[in-house]
């Protein structure tokens, strides 16, 4: 996901320099010196979308968009995506009360903070595009062969279809997409 402020455009994400507390972590329009782009997972719900960054869903604390580490402290927000007319992969992101994600004007060492403002106040258009995600690391979790009929450990003499049957992804790496 990318955002812009005047002529500055870069990735939206969490700061690479965060404290290790359970406090909510601000979301930023990061500086170009940050390493790469931050992958987001966007999950559709009945009332909108849950935006997850670095395994933490997002919400609002005060006027800031934050990644929620302790879900008992700050509620997760189901955000609403509004496509920008005539533009591909460009959206405005808002809550149910019609407050929009906005790039704040204050420049800090982390970049520009993402805050919540009324419609029309500042830079509120974000680029959301699919990125290839290779789940090969997750393959290790599921590489233990099992007999598909009863879940018992794999027995090649018992298996009807030898080879790599019953490996994660049937022996192939899953190719999935995330935002």
Residue 157 sits in the same domain as residue 100: no
> Distance between CA atoms of 86 and 92, rounded to whole angstroms?
13
Asked if residues 139 and 170 have their Cβ atoms less than 8 Å apart, the reply is: no
What is the model's pLDDT at position 161? 47
What is the per-residue pLDDT across 58-80, written as a single tens digit (0 to 9) for each? 999 999 999 999 989 899 999 99
Residue 54 sits in the same domain as residue 121: yes
Residue 105 sits in the same domain as residue 145: no
If one counts the domains in the chain, the total is: 2
Radius of gyration of the chain (CA): 21
Range of the domain at 171: 137-178
Residue 82 sits in the same domain as residue 170: no
Residue 68 sits in the same domain as residue 34: yes
Asked if residues 94 and 100 have their Cβ atoms less than 8 Å apart, the reply is: yes
Residue 107 sits in the same domain as residue 32: yes
What is the model's pLDDT at position 36? 66
Question: Is beta strand 131-134 parallel, antiparallel or unpaired with respect to 175-178?
Answer: antiparallel
Mean pLDDT for the chain overall? 79
Residue 102 sits in the same domain as residue 16: yes
With a cut of 90, say whether residue 24 has pLDDT above it: yes
Residue 11 sits in the same domain as residue 96: yes
Residue 51 sits in the same domain as residue 87: yes
Residue 18 sits in the same domain as residue 82: yes
Residue 108 sits in the same domain as residue 84: yes
With a cut of 80, say whether residue 4 has pLDDT above it: yes
Reading the block at residue 49, the tokens are 């979308």
Q: Quick check: helix, strand or coil at residue 14? A: strand
Tell me which of 109, 129, 149 is where a domain ends.
Answer: 129
Strands (E) across the chain are located at: 2-5, 8-14, 25-30, 40-44, 49-53, 56-61, 64-67, 80-83, 90-94, 99-108, 111-118, 126-127, 131-134, 175-178
Instruction: Kindly report the CATH number assigned to the domain that includes residue 96.
Output: 2.80.10.50
Asked if residues 138 and 12 have their Cβ atoms less than 8 Å apart, the reply is: no
What is the per-residue pLDDT across 85-136, written as a single tens digit (0 to 9) for each? 999 999 999 999 999 999 998 888 888 999 999 988 778 999 998 876 554 4
Instruction: Note the residue count of the chain.
Output: 179
What is the model's pLDDT at position 25? 96
Residue 11 sits in the same domain as residue 54: yes
pLDDT band with cut points at 50, 70 and 90 for residue 44 = very high
With a cut of 60, say whether residue 163 has pLDDT above it: no
């Amino acid at each position: 996901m990318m955002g812009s402020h005047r002529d500055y455009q870069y990735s939206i994400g969490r700061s690479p320099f965060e404290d290790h507390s359970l406090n909510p972590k601000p979301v930023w329009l990061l500086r170009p010196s940050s390493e790469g782009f931050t992958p987001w997972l966007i999950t559709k719900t009945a009332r909108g979308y849950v935006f997850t960054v670095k395994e933490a869903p997002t919400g609002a604390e005060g006027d800031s968009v934050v990644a929620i580490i302790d879900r008992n402290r700050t509620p997760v927000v189901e955000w609403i995506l509004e496509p920008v007319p005539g533009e591909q992969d460009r959206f405005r992101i808002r809550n149910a009360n019609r407050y929009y994600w906005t790039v704040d004007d204050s420049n800090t060492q982390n970049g520009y903070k993402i805050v919540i403002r009324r419609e029309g106040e500042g830079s509120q258009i974000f680029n959301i595009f699919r990125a290839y995600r290779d789940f090969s690391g997750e393959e290790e979790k599921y590489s233990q062969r099992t007999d598909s009929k009863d879940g018992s450990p794999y027995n090649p003499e018992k298996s009807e279809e030898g080879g790599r049957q019953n490996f994660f992804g049937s022996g192939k790496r899953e190719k999935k997409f995330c935002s």
